[in-house]
Chains A and B, each alone.
Chain A
Amino acid sequence: MKDKKFVSMVLVPSFALLFLFVVFPLFYGLGISFFDYNPARDSNPFLGLDNYMKMFQDPIFKKAVVNTLVFGIIAVFLNIVITLFLAQLISVLPSKKWKTIFRTILFIPCIAPMVGTALVWKSGIIETDGGLLNRLMGVFGMAPKNWTMTTGALLAIIIAYTLWADIGYNVVLFSAGLEGVPKEFDEAAAIDGAGPICRFLKIRVPLMGRTFAFVAVMTMANYFQMFAQFRVIAPKGGVDYSAMVLTNYIYRQSFTNYDMGYASAIAMALFVIVFAVALIQNRMMRLDWSYE
């Protein structure tokens, strides 16, 4: 259909709003990143590319980039493996009631605010003295550990938390995707003697390619922007900045060091990374977002 007047009546105000609150701030931020910027000051000296030079020499920034990528890639990979597995298990169940119950329970952590549940993890699970993790260690006869002082383990715990908090979405998406796969394909393959795992990998997964691509891209973009759990569990980035990620570093630069210019430069780096990863994924999965 065509209706120029209606289309512009709808799109002009809505894109204006998007421009105002997403696109414009992006360029505003880009502008700030060229200054030694503190809005409470009368004059803010222009620095040119100094903030970016500083950034490329900043060891904490480098660690934060690596951690952000490691966190994003591992967490997304595990998320997809675990949620596919759970979705497959749920879809095998013959009763609708059980399916609903499990999906609902798995989804409940997604409803809760992350600031709250991360705090629960911090005080109930990670805590050195009496936390669940150390009590489990005790059950297996291992000595308790101070988890906030570990390097790799702390990031692993944060990944575990993120999975706990977030798998519900993808379980729901995948289990619907799996149910969308026509039964005939599956049955035909079974007659050909393919085992259940082989059928799952060779037939079901490829057939829900669109769901898969959608989930992978959205989850990745989302995970690179995770912030609350880092702020609660490793506010200062952990020992040796082993759990410092870009979002937290931006926050700390803006509100602990009040160096908004530098914070904006790092923010631009984060944007470039998120965007680049999304593009690469798009390419790899040959994903056509708009039209098939």
Chain B
Amino acid sequence: MKKYGYRWYHYVIILFLTVFCAAMMFPMIWMFLTSFRTNADIRINKTTMLPETWTLEGYIKAFTEAPLGRWFFNSILITTIVTAAVIFTSTLIGYVFAKYEFKMKKMLFLLLLATMMVPGQVTMIPRFLMIQKMGLFNTQWALIIPGMVSAFGIYMAKQFIEDIPDSICEAAKIDGASAFGIYWKIILPNIRPAIGSLGIFTAMMSWNDYLNPLLMLNDKEKMTLPLALVVFSTEHTQDLTTTMAAATMIMLPMIVIFILFQKQFIRGLALSGIK
């Protein structure tokens, strides 16, 4: 494409998209700046976005008044386990659907897709009651176990695995590779972009989940980072400084990870759509 070079309309598009993206970033900038303002400043000087004096009050309060370090750790732990589990189950199940013939295959796959259409609110109450009866209530397993299989992940993995020629798998089988061996040695290395994007996608969902930790856990020390978004407001007033400081800290790690992996992620996500 490079041979065409830049034409005038390319500059118009770049200009337009730059303005558009700048507008898109406004809420993020607002959040970032607000996290450095005092509450009195936010409430009184409403016509400006800039801090009157820059303060770290919010960040300090976030760390001293909530077990933020502990929540960071919990979030990382739970996100890591869930993500690893989803990658493993999605690719394995996707592999089975893509490469094996068995009875009721089509029906089972449709059922799988149908589960994606069940709204979270519909299962929220029963799931909570079940978690209690199963004795998982107030343990972090309550967040991990239900999240280990993802219908979306399976769908995505299957689309990719179908692209791997059957002949390679057959050949490996003839060479004596076990079913799991084929998965581990042939399938996995061939679907790296899918794994990357599925991983980031799952990690994002798990990292940002706030309703489940609140419902399923009692001990504050066991909870996760998004709780910090609601914890600094009382029934009467909202502590915007600290809430925005917490929000900034929740988003930063994900933004950094995203920028690091964005090439893989965008490629993987994109391919899931066209294939």
User: Direct contact between A and B in the complex (CB less than 8 angstroms)?
Assistant: yes
Nearest A residue to B127 via CB reads A25
Question: Does A6 lie within 8 Å of B180, measured CB to CB?
Answer: yes
Count of A residues near B, CB < 8 Å?
A: 94
Contact of A173 among B14, B170, B263, B273 (CB under 8 A): B273
Question: Does B149 lie within 8 Å of A120, measured CB to CB?
Answer: no
Question: Does B169 lie within 8 Å of A271, measured CB to CB?
Answer: no
Number of A-B contacts (CB under 8 A): 258
Dominant secondary structure at the A interface:
helix
Nearest B residue to A124 via CB reads B30
Bound complex: CA A225 to CA B116 (Å): 11
Bound complex: CA A270 to CA B14 (Å): 42
Interface residues of A in 1-18 (CB under 8 A from B): 1-4, 6-7, 10-11, 14-15, 17-18
Whether, in the assembled complex, B164 has its beta carbon less than 8 Å from a beta carbon of chain A, the answer is no
**What is the CB-to-nearest-CB distance from A44 to chain B, in angstroms, rounded to a whole number?**
12
Whether, in the assembled complex, B77 has its beta carbon less than 8 Å from a beta carbon of chain A, the answer is no
Whether, in the assembled complex, A132 has its beta carbon less than 8 Å from a beta carbon of chain B, the answer is yes
Question: Does A1 lie within 8 Å of B89, measured CB to CB?
Answer: no
Decide: A116 near B25, CB < 8 A? Known: A94-B1, A271-B119: no
Question: Does A130 lie within 8 Å of B47, measured CB to CB?
Answer: yes
Whether, in the assembled complex, B8 has its beta carbon less than 8 Å from a beta carbon of chain A, the answer is no
Question: Does A250 lie within 8 Å of B274, measured CB to CB?
Answer: no
Question: Does B251 lie within 8 Å of A112, measured CB to CB?
Answer: yes
Contact of A124 among B34, B230, B259 (CB under 8 A): B34
Question: Does B10 lie within 8 Å of A93, measured CB to CB?
Answer: yes
Question: Does A274 lie within 8 Å of B117, measured CB to CB?
Answer: yes
Bound complex: CA A93 to CA B20 (Å): 15
Question: Does A116 lie within 8 Å of B251, measured CB to CB?
Answer: yes
Question: Does A1 lie within 8 Å of B24, measured CB to CB?
Answer: no
Contact of B5 among A89, A94, A105, A278 (CB under 8 A): A94
Whether, in the assembled complex, A285 has its beta carbon less than 8 Å from a beta carbon of chain B, the answer is no
Nearest B residue to A29 via CB reads B126
Whether, in the assembled complex, A180 has its beta carbon less than 8 Å from a beta carbon of chain B, the answer is yes
Bound complex: CA A21 to CA B46 (Å): 47
Question: Does B169 lie within 8 Å of A1, measured CB to CB?
Answer: yes
Bound complex: CA A210 to CA B275 (Å): 8
Contact of B126 among A32, A89, A125 (CB under 8 A): A32
Whether, in the assembled complex, A237 has its beta carbon less than 8 Å from a beta carbon of chain B, the answer is no
Bound complex: CA A69 to CA B20 (Å): 28
Chain A residues lying within 8 Å of B100, measured Cβ to Cβ, are: 1-3, 6-7
Question: Does A94 lie within 8 Å of B115, measured CB to CB?
Answer: no
Whether, in the assembled complex, B56 has its beta carbon less than 8 Å from a beta carbon of chain A, the answer is no
Interface residues of B in 119-155 (CB under 8 A from A): 119-127, 129-130, 145-146, 148-149, 151, 155
Bound complex: CA A173 to CA B273 (Å): 6
Bound complex: CA A40 to CA B166 (Å): 55
Bound complex: CA A108 to CA B28 (Å): 9
Whether, in the assembled complex, A290 has its beta carbon less than 8 Å from a beta carbon of chain B, the answer is yes
Question: Does A102 lie within 8 Å of B6, measured CB to CB?
Answer: no
Whether, in the assembled complex, A119 has its beta carbon less than 8 Å from a beta carbon of chain B, the answer is yes
Bound complex: CA A10 to CA B91 (Å): 11
Interface residues of B in 1-57 (CB under 8 A from A): 1-2, 4-6, 9-10, 13-14, 16-17, 20-21, 24-28, 30-31, 34, 46-47, 49
Nearest B residue to A179 via CB reads B270
Chain B residues lying within 8 Å of A56, measured Cβ to Cβ, are: none
Decide: A39 near B25, CB < 8 A? Known: A3-B179, A25-B123: no
Bound complex: CA A39 to CA B130 (Å): 12
Nearest A residue to B3 via CB reads A94
Interface residues of B in 85-106 (CB under 8 A from A): 89, 92-93, 96, 99-102, 106
Question: Does A270 lie within 8 Å of B122, measured CB to CB?
Answer: yes
Bound complex: CA A100 to CA B17 (Å): 12
Interface residues of B in 193-237 (CB under 8 A from A): 204, 207-208, 210, 226, 229-230
Chain A residues lying within 8 Å of B119, measured Cβ to Cβ, are: 224-225, 247, 267, 270-271, 274
Interface residues as binary, A106-139 with B (CB distance below 8 Å gives 1, 0 otherwise): 1111111111110111011100011010010000
Whether, in the assembled complex, A176 has its beta carbon less than 8 Å from a beta carbon of chain B, the answer is yes
**What is the CB-to-nearest-CB distance from B201 to chain A, in angstroms, rounded to a whole number?**
9
Whether, in the assembled complex, A103 has its beta carbon less than 8 Å from a beta carbon of chain B, the answer is yes
Decide: A11 near B108, CB < 8 A? Known: A1-B173, A177-B273: yes
Bound complex: CA A237 to CA B56 (Å): 35
Whether, in the assembled complex, A263 has its beta carbon less than 8 Å from a beta carbon of chain B, the answer is yes
Question: Does A278 lie within 8 Å of B108, measured CB to CB?
Answer: no
**What is the CB-to-nearest-CB distance from A173 to chain B, in angstroms, rounded to a whole number?**
4
Question: Does A18 lie within 8 Å of B115, measured CB to CB?
Answer: yes
Whether, in the assembled complex, A92 has its beta carbon less than 8 Å from a beta carbon of chain B, the answer is yes
Q: Which of A95, A109, A112, A271 counts the most chain B CB atoms within 10 A? A: A112
The 6 A-B pairs of least Cβ separation, nearest first, read A176-B270, A130-B46, A28-B126, A25-B126, A25-B123, A113-B208
Can you offer 12 A-B residue contacts whose CB atoms are under 8 A? A7-B100, A25-B122, A26-B123, A93-B14, A105-B21, A107-B258, A107-B266, A119-B243, A120-B244, A124-B30, A173-B272, A246-B121
Q: A22-B115, A120-B244 are in contact. List 9 more A-B contacts (CB 8 A).
A: A10-B93, A11-B93, A18-B151, A21-B146, A116-B229, A116-B250, A124-B30, A132-B30, A164-B27
